[in-house]
Amino acid sequence: MSESKADQSDETAKPRRRQARGERRIQQLLDAAASVFCRTGYTSASTNAIAREAGVSPGTLYQFFPNKEAIAVELGERLNRRMLETHGVVFTLENAALPLRELLDAVLDPMVEFNCANPAFLTLLQSSDAPGHFLEEHAALHDSIQDRINELIGVRNPDLSPERRTHTANMAFALFKAGLVLIIGHEGTEREAYIAELKTALYGYLAPVLGTEGIPAQP
Amino acid sequence: MSESKADQSDETAKPRRRQARGERRIQQLLDAAASVFCRTGYTSASTNAIAREAGVSPGTLYQFFPNKEAIAVELGERLNRRMLETHGVVFTLENAALPLRELLDAVLDPMVEFNCANPAFLTLLQSSDAPGHFLEEHAALHDSIQDRINELIGVRNPDLSPERRTHTANMAFALFKAGLVLIIGHEGTEREAYIAELKTALYGYLAPVLGTEGIPAQP
DNA sequence: CAAGAATGCGAGCGGTCACTCGCGTTTGTC
DNA sequence: GACAAACGCGAGTGACCGCTCGCATTCTTG
- pLDDT tens for chain A, 219 residues long, are 333 333 333 344 556 789 999 999 999 999 999 999 999 999 999 999 999 999 999 999 999 999 999 999 999 999 989 988 887 788 888 888 999 999 999 999 999 999 999 999 999 988 877 766 777 777 888 888 888 899 999 999 999 999 999 999 999 999 999 999 999 999 999 999 999 999 999 999 999 999 987 776 654
Per-residue model confidence (pLDDT) at position A1: 36
Q: Name the nt closest to B62 by C-alpha to C1'.
A: C19
Q: Of chain B residues 48-107, which have a CB less than 8 A from chain A?
A: none
* Residues B143/B57, Cβ–Cβ less than 8 Å: no
Of A117, A118, A109, nearest to A196 by C-alpha is A109
Residue B102 pLDDT greater than 60, yes or no? yes
A139 shares contact with chain B (CB less than 8 Å):
no
Q: What is the spatial distance between Cα A206 and Cα A211, in angstroms, rounded to a whole number? A: 7
Locate the chain B residue with the closest alpha carbon to A207: B204
**What are the residue ranges of helices labelled H in chain A?**
20-44, 47-54, 58-64, 68-90, 93-96, 100-117, 119-126, 132-156, 162-184, 188-210
Per-residue model confidence (pLDDT) at position B40: 93
Contact B175 A178 (CB under 8 A): yes
Phi-psi map region of A156: left, alpha, beta (phi>0 left; psi -120 to 50 alpha):
alpha
Per-residue model confidence (pLDDT) at position B2: 39
Q: Name the nt closest to A64 by C-alpha to C1'.
A: C7
- The full DSSP string for B185-210 is T--HHHHHHHHHHHHHHHHHHHHHHH
pLDDT tens digits for range B69-98:
999 999 999 998 998 888 778 888 888 899
CA of B18 to C1' of D3 (A): 18
Locate the chain B residue with the closest alpha carbon to A199: B205
Phi-psi map region of B118: left, alpha, beta (phi>0 left; psi -120 to 50 alpha):
beta
Phi-psi map region of A65: left, alpha, beta (phi>0 left; psi -120 to 50 alpha):
beta
Contacts of B155 (CB under 8 A, 6+ apart): B93, B96
Least confidently predicted of A151-155, B135-139, B156-160 = B135-139
pLDDT tens digits for range B8-65:
334 455 567 899 999 999 999 999 999 999 999 999 999 999 999 999 999 999 999 9
Per-residue model confidence (pLDDT) at position A217: 64
| Exposed / middle / buried, residue A61 (Cβ in 10 Å: 0-12, 13-18, 19+) | buried
Q: What is the DSSP letter of B211?
A: -
pLDDT tens digits for range B172-188:
999 999 999 999 999 99
Per-residue model confidence (pLDDT) at position B65: 98
Q: What is the spatial distance between Cα A94 and Cα A88, in angstroms, rounded to a whole number? A: 12
Average pLDDT over all residues of chain B: 88
A-B C-beta contacts closer than 8 Å:
89
Per-residue model confidence (pLDDT) at position B53: 98
Of B125 and B60, more confident: B60
Q: Which nucleotides of D are covered by protein (CB under 7 A)?
A: 5-12, 16-22, 27-28
Structural domains in chain B, CATH included, are 19-65 (1.10.10.60), 68-210 (1.10.357.10)
| Exposed / middle / buried, residue B69 (Cβ in 10 Å: 0-12, 13-18, 19+) | middle
Using a CB-CB cut-off of 8 Å, the residues of chain B touching A197 are 167-168, 171
Residue B106 pLDDT greater than 90, yes or no? yes
Phi-psi map region of B45: left, alpha, beta (phi>0 left; psi -120 to 50 alpha):
beta
Q: Name the nt closest to A17 by C-alpha to C1'.
A: C6
Q: What is the spatial distance between Cα B201 and Cα A168, in angstroms, rounded to a whole number? A: 10
Per-residue model confidence (pLDDT) at position A141: 80
Q: What is the mean pLDDT of residues B147-154?
A: 90
Q: What is the mean pLDDT of residues B147-159?
A: 91
Contact B182 A198 (CB under 8 A): no
